[in-house]
């Protein structure tokens, strides 16, 4: 009888424990359902919307972050900042956002956490390798015989481009206006344009195909890259950890090695 009683008591204890496991998982402990605590912190599958000019450096940064945070996977979706903003407004499932300007980020204040600037950038004139048209400065972009391509004015780099051209009273009639900085760079790489205005870091990724003509700081614009979590994230703790990491010495070294300026 004592054996039977013990068996029943053991079975009851096991049943109680089994019932408590899902209750504990559902309990409110400050973590979202998508976050999972591990010995290394919080693990999750993160989706980060990022400006096109961050394509190469963020692939490197993402690999470094995953190595330092086992169990976390970071997937990036790159596009022009204005496209990313539209995705956020439409409720695209993502956890964090990094734009190439504060204006776009500020317009999403009701959808994001508090943004932090993680890097800065400047513009250069990109030309074909060897600079066949011998472009030397901004004023020469007004030459009607020169095929110049710019980003569209609603794109951060397009807005920066127009800003510096207007400041110098230079009237450029582009042969096309592209949806992001990588599209501008591609036109120059393929020889479909003689010159284009891109970020310095983008020109650096294609030194075998383009030359970069520096623009004096007094005539240039500074691009800021703010990063923020998205309020719709199902992995809020992990998203916060990633955004915070972007300001750490490790992440900042990756960004500066790629040619970005410190915040």
DSSP element (H, E) containing 79:
strand 73-79
Cα distances (angstroms) measured from residue 101 to each of 21, 105, 109, 145, 226: 45, 7, 14, 32, 7
- Let me know if residue 99 belongs to a domain: yes
- Let me know if residue 73 belongs to a domain: yes
Residue 190, domain extent: 121-222
Number of structural domains in the chain: 2
Nearest-angstrom CA–CA distance, 246 and 255: 9
Nearest-angstrom CA–CA distance, 162 and 247: 30
Q: Rounded to the nearest 5°, which phi and psi values hold at 123? A: -95, 155
Using DSSP's 3-state secondary structure scheme, residue 111 falls into: coil
Nearest-angstrom CA–CA distance, 248 and 262: 11
- Let me know if residue 128 belongs to a domain: yes
pLDDT (tens digit, 9 = 90+) per residue, 195-232?
A: 999 999 999 999 999 999 999 999 999 999 999 999 99
We report the CATH number of the domain holding residue 128 as 3.40.190.10
Enumerate residues 6+ apart whose C-beta is below 8 A from 180. Answer: 51, 52, 53, 79, 80, 83, 151, 155, 157
Q: Do 166 and 203 lie in a common domain?
A: yes
pLDDT (tens digit, 9 = 90+) per residue, 31-80?
A: 444 454 443 346 789 999 999 999 999 999 999 999 999 999 999 999 99
pTM above 0.75, yes or no: yes
Nearest-angstrom CA–CA distance, 155 and 178: 9
Q: Do 189 and 202 lie in a common domain?
A: yes
pLDDT (tens digit, 9 = 90+) per residue, 83-142?
A: 999 999 999 999 999 999 999 999 999 999 999 999 999 999 999 999 999 999 999 999
């Amino acid at each position: 009888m004592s054996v039977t009683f013990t068996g029943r008591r053991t079975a009851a204890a096991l049943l109680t424990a089994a019932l408590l496991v899902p209750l504990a998982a559902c309990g409110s402990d400050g973590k979202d359902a998508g976050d999972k605590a591990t010995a290394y912190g919080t693990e999750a599958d993160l989706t980060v919307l990022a400006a096109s000019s961050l394509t190469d450096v963020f692939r490197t940064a993402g690999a470094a972050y995953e190595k330092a945070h086992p169990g976390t996977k970071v997937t990036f979706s790159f596009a022009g900042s204005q496209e990313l903003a539209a995705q956020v407004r439409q409720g695209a499932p993502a956890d964090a956002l990094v734009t190439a300007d504060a204006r776009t980020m500020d317009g999403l204040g009701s959808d994001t956490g508090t943004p932090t600037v993680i890097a800065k950038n400047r513009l250069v004139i990109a030309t074909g390798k060897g600079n066949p048209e011998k472009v030397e400065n901004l004023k020469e972009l007004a030459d009607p015989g020169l095929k110049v391509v710019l980003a569209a004015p609603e794109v951060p780099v397009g807005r920066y481009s127009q800003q510096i051209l207007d400041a110098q009273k230079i009237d450029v009639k582009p042969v096309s206006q592209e949806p992001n900085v990588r599209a501008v760079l591609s036109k120059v790489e393929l020889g479909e344009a003689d010159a284009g205005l891109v970020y310095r870091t983008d020109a650096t990724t294609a030194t075998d195909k383009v030359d970069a003509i520096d623009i004096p700081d007094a005539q240039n614009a500074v691009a800021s890259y703010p990063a923020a979590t998205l309020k719709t994230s199902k992995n809020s703790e992990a998203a916060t950890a990633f955004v915070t990491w972007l300001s750490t010495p490790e992440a900042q070294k990756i960004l500066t090695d790629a040619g970005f300026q410190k915040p």
